[in-house]
Structure 1
Amino acid sequence: MAADFLLSPTTPLTLPTLRTLLAGNARVVTADTNAPAATTTPVASVAPLLAAACGVGAEVPRELVRLMLVLQAGQQQRCGASAATVRRLLDFYNREVLPVVYQQGGNQVGLAHLSLPLFGLGEVNYQGYRLQTRDVLELFGWAPLQLADADASALLVGSGFTLAYAVQAWLRAEHLVWVADNLGSLSQGNADPALPSSHAACHAALVYVQQLLEEALTVAPTPANQQLATKESLAPPTDAWLALGTLLLAVAELGSRSAWRTELLLRNAAPTLTGLRHPVGSLVYQNTQLSGGASAGTAAEIAINTHQLLDNAEQLLGIELLVILQQPTQLPATAPFLADAREQLPVLAEHQLLYPAVHAAAQFVHRYIRPEQAM
């Protein structure tokens, strides 16, 4: 069992910490020995949450909701929320009791859906089932929180919704740039000396976004610095809207470079692989459509588009990896990523269905644990 992580204003969450927490099974706890006793509060105290809980569209993926919980706990702690509120958010995180949150609506709507279960309202996902919150609270013996009006309103302040999307996007993009560096260096030697394998611009974008996100993870949200207008901000005065747009463009560029390398490899590939041109072309076209809106929309909308681009980039890199593995050349002994791929992914035969291998390659890219991250 991994050691608990103590969340406090003096030990804030960082991107490396979040990567470790999300990849492992450590609990996040808070020192709350002075937590105030619950008090009886009129039902009207949750009226701001009820009014804002009007999300639409698809549900936010569960791993993102879990990230929202721990980020919201950190933000609430920094802005002086009661220890009981922070503790319950972490209870949900640690037990993987995940509120049902919807993608469309923005920060305030997302936070309303995230917060309603604290009061025993709304629905949660638990162990693969969508359940009424009150039933899950009863299962654990947790009483619904009874908070004052100001506390309920404070739960709508902050950027936990957008910040979760941005943090996960950064973590995924950083991993995919590492994968692309490995594949680009090998494609360079096998395909065309003029092929651009460097991802310097992507690395620079990641550094820029990391600076903004690290600041957002340490700033206490207040109504005065929260922007609920068209271009929302993660942590004013930094322009996180611009940072997300930068990340979106960087991921689109990453996918385009992978598609270019794959196309050059396919020029001399066996006929078995030529069908891969179709999904590559389709993904590149979709990337163009998604990245074309980098300068429009809210930060939440751009973050959602970035996650779609990340999904596309995983598939493009997976296809590139699959084509590389069919090449007759030997893989470098110093490339454990490629050696692991050769061991786990199939060698394609003539007249073989391609899509199972494509899906397997994309999953390999997504789930691969780099040597420096192995426990």
Structure 2
Amino acid sequence: MVVLTGQSLTIEDAKNVLYEYMFVSASVESMKKVEKSREAVENIVKQKKVVYGITTGFGKFSDVLIESDDVEELQWNLIHSHACGVGEPFPEVVSRAMVLLRANALLKGYSGVRTVVIERLLDLLNARIHPVIPQQGSLGASGDLAPLAHLALVLMGEGEVFYQGERMEAITALSKVGIVPLTLKAKEGLALINGTQAMTAMGLVNYIEAEQLAYQTEAIAALTLEGLRGIEDAFDPRVHEARGYHQQTEVAERIRRMVSGSQLITKQGELRVQDAYSLRCIPQVHGASWQALDYVKEKLEIEMNAATDNPLIFDDGEKVISGGNFHGQPIALAMDFMKIAVAELANISERRIERLVNPQLNDLPPFLSPVPGLQSGAMIMQYCAASLVSENKTLAHPASVDSIPSSANQEDHVSMGTIASRHAHQIIQNVRRVLAVELICALQAVEYRGIEKMASFTKSLYEEARKLIPSITQDRVFSKDIEIAASWLNKMDWKAFVDRNLPTTQYGY
């Protein structure tokens, strides 16, 4: 069980909830804070104080006073008017992450919602009911208003959800499991939609996928090193310790362990003096991407436990402050950084693919073809990888450098963080397919060199991959192979594979 406190949620906890469907509950102490915060809101309404978002309109309407009899209608209107997201829905796992993160943020006790709102969010998680939330429509400041409004609709028994593999009306799914829809009270609608949970949820799923992908790139690169008879000296620990980046040093160490005992790896001067950068600089390039991913992880774990709505209630209601924690700039910058870092893994991978297939750069059969000329082999797979890499370059353009004013210029600088996180997700999918191409080519190259000469780890990877991807003995529709390989990389338990086949190492060191 994962117990939410509003302060201690980790990426590892989130993985257990998102992918293992671990049961989620709220800590007793956190719920007490929520109750005190709610009392403050009710006192504000009772005393008819003018407080933004509780007894006033929103955005440019912040100067419009709302009568106490109308506060429930205000919440209803807010959710319905703001639920204007468009486009394809977020992946279901991202929707699940939004529900988790929204519940955790409310548990900090600064938002003024009733405990029943948090209970309903946890009910959705534990029943595996996930709101259908359109991906487009958020500016990433004032919170992810449009996406989170679609989440809030479900608590009211409206909108659509994913449940048991089907897309259906929310009220149908809620009825099946006995969840009673809510009527939102003062401040609750605003508390549900004012926050960065869409971009952060997407960022969280991105990080989980990117982390696994980054480890996999190293193993696939190790296969390529064997296929091209790469030089091991470039991975000598002294080289990397001399520079001082621990991520670079760790990549080099993992590569050394992966090719340990290989008869295909060469020494400096044995076949050539130096390898090309795409082989020799694997630790430097991959290590730099790891530095960026470490930065992203730090920002995500802060934001996952942050109060990001507005206004926030302090000192048992004595102080209600209207601020700007809903602004997504920290996550926008992190996601833009992630885009560049992950795209670079594909850039260098595509160059390794070129070295595997180009007969002017190796001594393998041209394009790894079984019958060069009559059969094209991996020729067009390299084209595919090059296309994906080029597409990533356009997606990697930073979203956070853009801003469009909204709400009659009251909200005059926005983060575009949700766009950044969505583009990062697209890049990750493209990178995985580029790596799938490198994997297919590297498998073929080591086969030509001699499987019996491989390191034990890379041979294990070869044997697992060959269960799904047959040797190239005849031209075929390689699109299917690429998608099968990419799906395998996405779904495999990489940590378990590493622990099983490199028992003397710790995952990630």
TM normalised by structure 2 equals: 0.67
Q: Select which of 214, 218, 232 maps to 1:181.
A: 218
Question: Displacement of 1:294 after TM fit?
Answer: 5.0
Q: Select which of 170, 173, 177 maps to 1:136.
A: 173
Q: Select which of 8, 12, 17 maps to 2:13.
A: 17
User: Contact between 2:6 and 2:306, CA under 8 Å: does it hold in 1?
Assistant: no
Cross-structure match for 1:59: 89
Answering whether residue 109 of structure 2 is matched by residue 101 of structure 1, we say: no
User: Contact between 1:120 and 1:144, CA under 8 Å: does it hold in 2?
Assistant: yes
User: Contact between 1:326 and 1:347, CA under 8 Å: does it hold in 2?
Assistant: yes
Question: Displacement of 1:367 after TM fit?
Answer: 1.1
Q: Select which of 283, 290, 293 maps to 1:203.
A: 290
User: Contact between 1:71 and 1:160, CA under 8 Å: does it hold in 2?
Assistant: yes
What is the aligned-residue identity percentage?
26
Cross-structure match for 1:288: 393
Cross-structure match for 2:479: 355
Question: Displacement of 1:62 after TM fit?
Answer: 1.0
Cross-structure match for 2:187: 150
Q: Where do 1:105-120 residues align within 5 Å?
A: 105-106=137-138, 107-120=144-157
User: Contact between 1:318 and 1:364, CA under 8 Å: does it hold in 2?
Assistant: no
The residue type equivalent to 1:65 in the other structure is S
Answering whether residue 223 of structure 2 is matched by residue 226 of structure 1, we say: no
The residue type equivalent to 1:197 in the other structure is I
Cross-structure match for 1:49: 79
User: Contact between 1:46 and 1:149, CA under 8 Å: does it hold in 2?
Assistant: no
The residue type equivalent to 1:97 in the other structure is I
The residue type equivalent to 2:200 in the other structure is L
Residue aligned with 1:130, SS: strand
Residue aligned with 1:131, SS: strand
Residue aligned with 1:167, SS: helix
User: Contact between 2:309 and 2:326, CA under 8 Å: does it hold in 1?
Assistant: no
The 2-side partners of 1:82 and 1:227 are apart by: 20
The residue type equivalent to 1:280 in the other structure is A
Q: Which structure has the larger Rg over C-alpha atoms?
A: 2
5+ long unaligned stretches in structure 1: 234-238
The 2-side partners of 1:90 and 1:363 are apart by: 30
Question: Displacement of 1:227 after TM fit?
Answer: 4.5
5+ long unaligned stretches in structure 2: 36-41, 43-68, 139-143, 231-274, 311-322, 359-363, 370-375, 403-415, 501-509
Residue aligned with 2:333, SS: helix
The residue type equivalent to 1:91 in the other structure is D
User: Contact between 1:157 and 1:226, CA under 8 Å: does it hold in 2?
Assistant: no
Answering whether residue 86 of structure 2 is matched by residue 75 of structure 1, we say: no
Cross-structure match for 2:504: none
> Structure 1's 29 and 163: CA in aligned 2 closer, same or farther, altered over 3 A?
same
Answering whether residue 438 of structure 2 is matched by residue 320 of structure 1, we say: yes
For these two proteins, the number of residue pairs brought into alignment is: 362
User: Contact between 1:29 and 1:90, CA under 8 Å: does it hold in 2?
Assistant: yes
Question: Displacement of 1:98 after TM fit?
Answer: 1.4
Cross-structure match for 1:275: 380
The 2-side partners of 1:42 and 1:304 are apart by: 33
The 2-side partners of 1:7 and 1:249 are apart by: 32
User: Contact between 1:45 and 1:147, CA under 8 Å: does it hold in 2?
Assistant: yes
TM normalised by structure 1 equals: 0.89
Residue by residue over 1:148-183, the C-alpha shift from the partner in whole angstroms, topping out at 9 and shown as x without a partner, is 121111111211101001111111111111001111
Cross-structure match for 1:236: none
Question: Displacement of 1:73 after TM fit?
Answer: 0.9
The residue type equivalent to 1:221 in the other structure is T
Bigger RCO of structures 1 and 2 (CA < 8 A, at least 6 apart): 2
The 2-side partners of 1:124 and 1:241 are apart by: 27
The residue type equivalent to 2:297 in the other structure is Q
Answering whether residue 457 of structure 2 is matched by residue 334 of structure 1, we say: yes
Cross-structure match for 2:316: none
Answering whether residue 427 of structure 2 is matched by residue 309 of structure 1, we say: yes
Cross-structure match for 1:88: 120
